[in-house]
Amino acid sequence: MGKKSGTDVQLMTMHELATYLHLDEATVNKLVMAGKIPSLQVDRQWRFKRGQIDAWIEEQLVGEDESFADVPDGMKLPLEDLLPDQAIITNMRAKTPVAVIEELAARAYTNGWLLDKPWFVGAVVERESLASTAMEGGVAFLHTRAKDKGKIGRPFMVVGRSWEGISFGAPDGAPTYLFFLLGLKYDRLHLPILGRLARALRNPATIAKLRALSSPDQVRAHLLKEDAAVRSGLVPEIQEAAAFKPKLDRQLRLRAIRRLQQAKNVENEPPPAKKPTRTRAKKK
């Protein structure tokens, strides 16, 4: 008998599937081990039929009430459609992981992108309790496990930056400085966008630059630039770990100098003099 042809008998390796889905192999392996991706074993190695993968994407990642063709392709959707200037918080007030999620979700809710903030915050906290989404280098990609389209007004992404950094369970134990909250509504968007961001931020120099820029429009412009490079297939040269240390621009240096000067002035101010207490003469 001749060998069958067609996409249903084309077997992909784990590496090929990761490339096809635009995800890293560790993420794909977790999905496979959880039984979420159709797979089979050949000589104790995971293999995947491309036809089944395509069917899984179409049938599982889009709701029954919407056509697959109506949902944008996550690899083609311009990042600027998801990331207006008001979606970027350059100086977060949060000091704890839950406060980070609350602050980012509040920005999405205020702009009308998120319809049910309590549900969303709870779903993100639940996802983080399973395993932190923080990566080495100071970046975290926050998202929910379940996709409930009725609770999200439109696909969105909110970016937050903490100057001091927050302990967020990163593998290297270091603080996390950049937070990306993803409310992309459909997995057809979520998986490719997540992969694009992960590749754009794998270079320490990119992270350092984003930590140093002073305004939301500068942060946005740099993110769009790095994402465009990823979409065009350019692979940036990975620099030394020392590149993680951000170099502050002139405006930020001036602000830092002013804050230090104000703190020193407060320390050098003499304490207020105590008013002398008057003693009343006793009546004889």
pLDDT at 30: 81
Residue length, the chain? 284
What is the rounded CA–CA span in Å between residue 205 and residue 245?
A: 8
- Type of residue found at 239: Q
Q: Which helix (H) or strand (E) holds 140?
A: strand 139-142
Domains of the chain, residue spans: 10-60, 79-244
What is the rounded CA–CA span in Å between residue 91 and residue 107?
A: 13
pLDDT at 139: 93
| Class of the domain covering 10-60 | mainly alpha
User: Both tokens of residue 129?
Assistant: 């309790």
Q: What is the pTM of this model?
A: 0.62
Measured over all CA atoms, what is the biggest interatomic distance in the chain, rounded to whole angstroms? 128
Per residue in 175-185, pLDDT (tens digit) is 999 999 998 87
- CA 144-147-149 angle, to 5 degrees, is 130
| Residue 163 reports pLDDT greater than 80 | yes
Q: CATH homologous superfamily of domain 79-244?
A: Mannitol-specific EII; Chain A (3.40.930.10)
172 vs 10: which has the higher pLDDT = 172
Residue 91: how many CB atoms within 10 A of its CB?
A: 9
Our separate counts of H helices and E strands in the chain read 9, 8
Per residue in 137-152, pLDDT (tens digit) is 899 999 987 766 678 8
What pairs with residue 140 in β-bridges? 134, 179
Per residue in 96-117, pLDDT (tens digit) is 999 999 999 999 999 999 999 9
What is the rounded CA–CA span in Å between residue 176 and residue 133?
A: 10
275 vs 268: which has the higher pLDDT = 268
